[in-house]
Structure 1
Amino acid sequence: MNIAELNVGYARYALDDDRIAPFMDNLDRINALAERSPGFVWRMQSDGGNATDISVPGDPDMISNLSVWTDVENLGAYVFNTVHARFYDRGTDWFETMTKPHFVMWHVPDGHRPTLVEAMDRLAHLRAHGSTDHAFGWDHVDMAAFRRCAHGAEADA
């Protein structure tokens, strides 16, 4: 089994606005880093190479990131222990603060590529029931396994 993850949000500015440029200008770099990271399997992307122009069903203003990893540990290492962490920490500079969960993980069979509809259903389940084996957040996993050197990874810069 692999782990799928969905992260959604609303940009504070139009994607061509200078105030969100530090995010947009580094998107290819961060996506390439993910693809080179241990445990990476797949990510949703349009012909342009990212997912910012893929509409979320029922909410065209929402931006999404959907990917599959071999396990939570490798996903967590990428999120918290690479240069990605710098962008993660600045998320509120570019995205609205969400009042309900906006990130979800779930188990998928090897070879499965989840759809955005499937992913949004998992997020809805997390929002309705909290973390369960069906849909969960970071609160459902042992963070110590990959947070021990968070923000210190310069090698991937």
Structure 2
Amino acid sequence: MTSIGTDPGRSPHELAQVNISRLGFPLDSPRLKDFVEGLDPVNAVADGADGFVWRLRSASGNATDVPVLGDDWLIVNMSVWRDVEALTGFMFAGRHRELMSRRREWFEQIREAMTALWWVPAGERPTVADAEERLLHLREHGPTERAFTLRARFPAPAGVH
């Protein structure tokens, strides 16, 4: 993880999330046109959302070209939020909700966990390797304090790291 300055008035922890999806078609396919065209607007809404802290992005402005789990058909979304309420407030509203409702058109349905949440010390930014490890931990052990889901949440650790 990388660390950046923190605001002393903020919580000692922030919520990291990773979500990976396996593409059903190449990113430049006409079948993914609506998804690809929706990325920048949804990311702009996220960037301005209450409780948003950080998101993974490459030179493209999003993370669709960031390798994850050694599979060229997987795309990754990773971000950090103030808390679960801030994340869910963004996820289930507006443009993001609209795109989520169409995910079955664009992505393969995978039975294993594709999303994981975990707490990071405020100011630290997870790496893709961190996210891969958390997701694999969740797949192997189910929800724990190390990696959990929205349905099986764990509170932020007490105290400061």
The bucket for the TM-score relative to the shorter chain is 0.7 to 0.9
Q: In the alignment, is the contact (CA less than 8 A) between 1:55 and 1:61 conserved in 2?
A: no
In the TM superposition, residue 86 of structure 1 has moved relative to its aligned partner by 1.2
Structure 2 segments unaligned to the other structure (5+ residues): 1-12, 155-161
The one of 107, 110, 116 equivalent to 2:119 is 107
SS in 1 for 2:125: coil
2:154 is equivalent to residue 139 of structure 1: no
TM-score, normalization: structure 2?
Answer: 0.85
2:58 is equivalent to residue 46 of structure 1: yes
SS in 2 for 1:140: coil
Which amino acid is the alignment partner of residue 78 of structure 1?
F
Q: Deviations over 1:56-83 (max 9, x none)?
A: 1422321100110010100001001232
Q: In the alignment, is the contact (CA less than 8 A) between 1:131 and 1:139 conserved in 2?
A: no
Distance in 1 (CA, whole Å) between partners of 2:71 and 2:25 is: 16
Q: Answer 1 or 2: which has greater helix percent.
A: 1
Distance in 2 (CA, whole Å) between partners of 1:24 and 1:135 is: 29
Report the count of equivalent residues: 142
Distance in 1 (CA, whole Å) between partners of 2:89 and 2:69 is: 30
TM-score, normalization: structure 1?
Answer: 0.87
| Identical aligned residues as a percent | 41
2:81 is equivalent to residue 94 of structure 1: no
Aligned-CA RMSD value? 1.2
